Amino acid sequence: MEENTTPMQQAPEKKKFNGKGLAMGSLIVGIFGVIFCWVPGLNYTLGFVSLGLGIPGFIFAKKNGGPKGMAMAGIILGAITIIAGIIVVALLISAADSIPSSYYY
C-alpha cells in the first residue's frame, strides 16, 4: 500500500507591527489639520487625532524598525494645527471684543 504523505506547510511568519498605518494616518490627518486650522473646533479635533495616531506610530516604528519619518511629520503637523487653532481662537476673541457696542442691537 502506498502512503499518502504530503509535506506539512509551515504557517506564515507573523510580521511585526511597525506602525506604518498609524504613521500614514497621522500624516494625512495632520495635513488636513493644517489646511483647516482656521475652523474652530475642527482644528483641535484634527490636531489631537494626528497626535494620537502619530505618537503610537512612532513608538511602534522605533521598537520594530519601521519608518519613523511619517509619524514624526504627523506629530509635528498635529502640534502646528493645535498651536494655529489657539491663535485663531485668540484672534476671533480679540476681533469680537473690538466691535463697538453701537453695532449691537
Question: DSSP labels for 53-87?
Answer: HHHHHHHHHHHHT---HHHHHHHHHHHHHHHHHHH
DSSP assigned state of 19 = -
Q: Which of 8, 90, 20 is nearest to 62 (CA)?
A: 20
Residue 17's CB is within 10 A of a number of other CB atoms, namely 13
Q: What is the pLDDT of residue 30?
A: 95
Q: What is the pLDDT of residue 103?
A: 66
Q: What is the pLDDT of residue 1?
A: 56
Q: What is the mean pLDDT of each run of 10 residues along the chain (105 residues)?
A: 66 73 94 92 94 94 86 96 94 85 66
Residue 5's CB is within 10 A of a number of other CB atoms, namely 6
Domain map of the chain by residue range?
A: 20-96
